[in-house]
Amino acid sequence: MNNYFYGLFPAQDCRARIEQCEARQAQMRGRANRPRARPVCGTNGQTYASRCHLVRAACQGAPKGGLKGGASPRRQLKVKHRGRCRERQPCRARSSEGTACLPDGRFAPVQCHPGTGYCWCVTPNGRPIPNTTRRNRRPKCKARRPKTRRGGTEVRGRKMMKECSRVDRSAFVTNLVRIFSTDYQKEVPDGEASEETVLDWKFGQLDRDRSGFLSRDEYAEVRRVVRRVARPRRCARAFAKLCDLDRDLRIARHEWTACLALHLNRE
């Protein structure tokens, strides 16, 4: 997204810029299926009803409580991002190598793991959508929603997932990765204990047949640890449901990473 900078302009220049912006905005509104002007967040921490309102504020003088450090708001005012200032940009706040972000700071609908070739759909906040995983091709994610059924294990699993809120899940994942890190440091005292390294090591330890998938027997050990040690318990009870994204009763390496990577689970 381009950043627009507005300095100290002569009054005539300001009027021309405002009129030009408003004319362009009116033209956009006249097009079919075009939404109304969206709010924008200025670099002074103020929300403006549209980009044109920000241009006007830059010309006339920004409101009180502008930039820190004594800088003139009029000299520095520009668009920080689309949307209101209080709206978070989850992808940029939690992005890491390989994470795809949209210009407005949300997660791109399709996320891929370069090392394995797996791709899956996510919500705008980065939460993986079950039953969307594809290998060596991109899934169709537009307007896609998790499938639901009446009765059966899936409904019971969804009920458990509802009990485990996003905040709970973030705390649960943090606690679980901490447990894995402690185990890793005991086994590999001089090893690099990064999140990715620890998760990869733990998966390899559990994947006894080297199939790239954890069967129910293979992840039974971690389920016991989870239920005994990890908190919150409501998330521990739903561990398998949270990580088995395609509901095939086994956990693939990319599902393990998507489920337990801290950058996908933090608020």
Tens-place pLDDT, residues 197-211: 888 898 998 888 888
Closest C-alpha among 50, 78, 82 to residue 62:
78
Task: Name the strands in the sheet holding 40-42, side by side, starting at the edge strand that comes first in the sequence.
Answer: 47-48, 40-42, 79-82
Of all residues in the chain, what percent carry a pLDDT higher than 70?
69
pLDDT above 80: residue 125: no
91 has a pLDDT exceeding 50: yes
Task: Report helix, strand and coil shares of the chain as percent, to nearest 5.
Answer: 45, 10, 45
> Which pLDDT belongs to residue 37?
73
Per mean pLDDT, which range of 5-19, 187-201, 253-267 is the poorest? 5-19
138: Cβ contacts below 8 Å, ≥ 6 apart: 110, 112, 119
Torsion of CA 84, 86, 89, 90, to 10 degrees: -140
| pLDDT value of residue 90 | 67
- Grouping H, G, I as helix, E, B as strand and the rest as coil, residue 207 is coil
Structure tokens at 152: 């059966």
What is the Cα Rg of the chain in Å?
24
pLDDT > 60? residue 113? yes
Averaged pLDDT, 56-84: 60
What strands lie across the sheet with 110-113, from one edge to the other? 110-113, 118-121, 134-135
- Three-class SS state of 184: helix
Span of 91-100, 143-152, 198-207, 252-261 with lowest mean pLDDT:
143-152
- pLDDT bracket for residue 94 (50, 70, 90): low
Q: Is the pLDDT of residue 267 over 60?
A: no
pLDDT tier, 192 (very low <50, low <70, confident <90, very high otherwise): confident
DSSP-derived letter for residue 62 is: P
* For residues 37-46, average pLDDT: 80
Give 240's contacts (C-beta < 8 A, 6+ positions apart): 216, 219, 223, 251
Mean pLDDT over 137-162 rounds to 53
Asked whether the predicted pLDDT for residue 74 surpasses 60, the reply is no
Which range of 152-161, 203-212, 240-249, 258-267 scores highest in mean pLDDT? It is: 203-212
Total residues found in the chain within this entry: 267
Dist. CA 201–CA 197, nearest whole Å: 6
- Does this model's pTM top 0.85? My answer is no
SS3 40: strand
